[in-house]
Amino acid sequence: MDQELEQAALVALLRRGDRSWPQLTDQVETVGSARDVLESALDASGQGALFDTEPAVDLESIAAEIAAWGRDGMRLVTIMDEDYPLCLRLVHQRPPFLFLRGAHIEDDLRVAVVGTRNPTPEGIAHAQAIAGGLAERGVTVVSGLAAGIDTAAHGTALAVGGRTVAVIGTGLRRSYPAQNTRLQEEIAEKGLVLSQFWPDAPPSKASFPMRNAVMSGYSLATVVVEAAYRSGARMQARLALEHGRRVFLMRSLMTHEWAREYATRPNTTVIDGADDVFNVLDSLVPTTGELTWA
């Protein structure tokens, strides 16, 4: 019950809309309780004094709403919950909550495979080789359910019987693009669909870059298959580096100026195939414990 009210308080805080979501995330995490933050927010606005016998926010009804989402197959996980994915928790752009449809596995090895919505046949072939190769080795293929490379990555992972996760740019009740509705359902059944937006949120210009940040955070590394300078995939490569995550660039990308420049940055690797990614994955898992020099 305690956790349900905490979740409800977080939802209430986000709905108030008086502070940015990143600010609220920091604050709730620092205070250690969404209910405490909500209470002090209400006090500050004078409502506590005015209605001190009545709760100004009906947490019970929000908890009922969360339960209804859950019955609809959409599980809410907040930053205060223990099962919030650790990898994602470590990046500064962690969202305050996620909605999950499907099964979250905490300790699988996850690699994002991303690229253009308008791929060439070679691009599709590379995406299939990478995604298939990773999935066959037991690696979870994460992608964004967009047309083109994303669709090829998800589809191939499913085809070889591997695990795939879609991090989508809409709420879980929506699909974008519409022709991927069926794919989204299949991924939810066999893997996981994950969204940082309210269940009915439509796609928007801002939602896709936000989604890219979460996809980077949820994954140990990002593989860019085929991508132009102006693309969500290049943006995700930048975000991943800014999160301290490894970026793998397909050698065929080296025809692009931006990719050649990225390849000179620390923590990037130019690759020819799935093995180049798989062989170093263990070293990319976040670690704690005693430090040694090398």
Binding another protein by CB under 8 A: which of 3, 22, 83, 272? 22
Write the DSSP symbol of residue 104. Answer: -
Residue 264: count of CB within 10 angstroms of its CB: 7
Peptide bond before 203: cis, by omega within 30 degrees of 0? no
Closest CA to 114 of 212, 193, 186, 184: 212
CA dist 47 → 14, 36, 54, 59, 80 (Å): 18, 15, 10, 16, 25
CA dist 284 → 198, 244, 245, 281, 287 (Å): 31, 10, 8, 5, 8
* 90 belongs to the binding site for another protein (CB under 8 A): yes
* 35 belongs to the binding site for another protein (CB under 8 A): no
Residues composing the chain: 294
Closer Cβ to another protein, 66 or 213, answer by number: 213
Minimum CB separation of residue 215 from another protein in Å reads 16
Minimum CB separation of residue 289 from another protein in Å reads 5
| Distance (Å, whole) CA 157 – CA 141 | 7
* 138 belongs to the binding site for another protein (CB under 8 A): no
* 26 belongs to the binding site for another protein (CB under 8 A): yes
* 254 belongs to the binding site for another protein (CB under 8 A): no
- Which span sits near another protein by CB under 8 A: 107-115, 153-161, 164-172, 261-269? 261-269
Minimum CB separation of residue 248 from another protein in Å reads 14
* 3 belongs to the binding site for another protein (CB under 8 A): no
Minimum CB separation of residue 241 from another protein in Å reads 4
Binding another protein by CB under 8 A: which of 1, 49, 206, 294? 294
| Distance (Å, whole) CA 275 – CA 88 | 25
Closer Cβ to another protein, 78 or 231, answer by number: 78
**Cα angle vertex 79, ends 75, 84, to 5°?**
60
* 98 belongs to the binding site for another protein (CB under 8 A): no
Residue 211: count of CB within 10 angstroms of its CB: 26
Q: What is the dihedral of CA 47, 9, 16, 169, to 10 degrees?
A: 180
Write the DSSP symbol of residue 17. Answer: -
* 245 belongs to the binding site for another protein (CB under 8 A): yes
* 83 belongs to the binding site for another protein (CB under 8 A): no
Binding another protein by CB under 8 A: which of 50, 86, 159, 254? 86
Closer Cβ to another protein, 15 or 92, answer by number: 92
On the CB side of 246, CA atoms within 13 Å amount to 19
Binding another protein by CB under 8 A: which of 49, 53, 107, 292? 292
Closer Cβ to another protein, 91 or 135, answer by number: 91
For residue 60, give both structure tokens.
Answer: 């019970």
Binding another protein by CB under 8 A: which of 119, 243, 253, 271? 243
Applying CB under 8 A, which residues contact another protein? 22, 26, 29-30, 32, 86, 89-92, 241-246, 265-267, 283, 286-294
